[in-house]
Structure 1
Amino acid sequence: MSEQRAAAGEGMRTSFGFRPVADGEKQGLVDTVFHRVAERYDLMNDLMSGGLHRLWKDGMVAWLNPPKRAGWKALDVAGGTGDIAFRIVEASNRAAHVTVLDINGSMLAVGQDRATRRHVAENVDFVEANAEELPFADNSFDAYTIAFGIRNVPRIDAALAEAYRVLKPGGRFLCLEFSEVEMPLLDRAYEAWSFNAIPRIGGIVAGDPDSYRYLVESIRKFPNQANFAAMIRAAGFDRVTWRNYSGGIAALHSGWKL
């Protein structure tokens, strides 16, 4: 599997899951997926991960450790429903300000509604834009986070370059993403669960098995931990490292703009 991932990592721009697509076609297909699943996205995350995604996201924000002071700003990319942004705001005792950026308006609408219901709208703003072309000035943010979103970006190298550009010197990059399972028995069980159960659950709960089949396939196409770390370094980041969660089902990568 690692060889498949290593080779496929360079070709994600022209693959929609396991299906080859023309250059420039992937973004529209991904947008369609998330328009379809937006209303049930968080419920499906619970079902797909057995609720573990909540612990992984808690771990991400704990490692970020946002300061409890006004003026500290984070950019959460592909975070439309607000899961990471709300955690950052709460971890900072509501001192931090988080800009949530997503290319998908349906996902942002869910996040804006949740922000209002959680009474954190003053701390969070929502921007519809592309991770490959961020509408912000250089050196604008203290932290850049992205959770389970970067594998859906056609040009991952462009997104990483933009992350580096908008971070202030000394800024932190954190990326939580499904990765390569490093435990043989768990690997087999997870493979069977992913390709057999998840699309069926997506069909029952969200009425959309095809979208969840794409999401599972996109996980298998994404570079493994070491190869993704190399991409982060190539974008200019220093002190790049990662932590595995649940045997490598997910991995949290960290880098610094120094």
Structure 2
Amino acid sequence: MIPKIHQDFIDKTIQLLKYDCRILGVAAGGSYITNSLDEFSDIDLIIAVESSCYEQIMKERKEIAGKLGNLLSAFTGEHVGEPRLLICLYGPPLLHVDLKFVALADIGKRVEDPVILWERDNAITDALKLGEAKFPAPDLQWIEDRFWVWIHYGTVKIGRGEIFEAIEFISFMRQTVIGPLLLMKNGKLPRGVRKIETDAPNDLFMLKETIATYDAKSCVRAIQGIIRLYVDLRDQLSDNELIRRSEAEKYTKDYLNEIRNRLTIHLRN
């Protein structure tokens, strides 16, 4: 069951956009696809635009969004690498809506297969046939080449006493490396740590060990937890072609142990 506030917005959006001949259809992504949309969900809408009118629509998209409801705020999605995205907050009651305006010629390039809510003359249906959905998987070699440099960076911050920076670093490693790999291991899309509580429930006890408090020794333990998880996941998910940065791994682990020992000696004194 789709919450009423969500369904009402979708229905109103379709009815209004039908009157704009430059718009060829509306589809839904995200949790709408898996029928898991709840009261806390946002709405992910893909708005298919006639390619020849795309630039014009992009200039008017905030105005278009304003017609769909009481628009409180809106901004574009460059920070997530998606400038076509308009991130909107409507209300009250508050509702987060992502409107992605896509030229019809580009509809086939996608990370998931959306649910078509309305279209003109099978425009979206036909465009989707020109490509396949492909969610980008983490590149294990790309991660391995960077992982131990990252770990050294976080260790240095602990050694210098920059604990807030260390905590942010640990969060970055969960979001960028550990979360996606855990989700891959569980056969789920590697979307950071999104819904990891339900998608990887058997691994949560290990993931909790990567959470640090404002304490240097806690940060060291969290980084050690990240290393243990990463090495285990790397060995499970990689093949013989992966080039392991073994020297970087050894010396970085040794340095982390050195910083841990310094902290222990400092506390004793």
Same fold (TM over 0.5): no
Higher relative contact order by CA 8 Å / sep ≥ 6: 1 or 2? 1
TM-score, normalization by structure 1: 0.27
Q: Which is higher, the Rg of structure 1 or of structure 2? A: 2
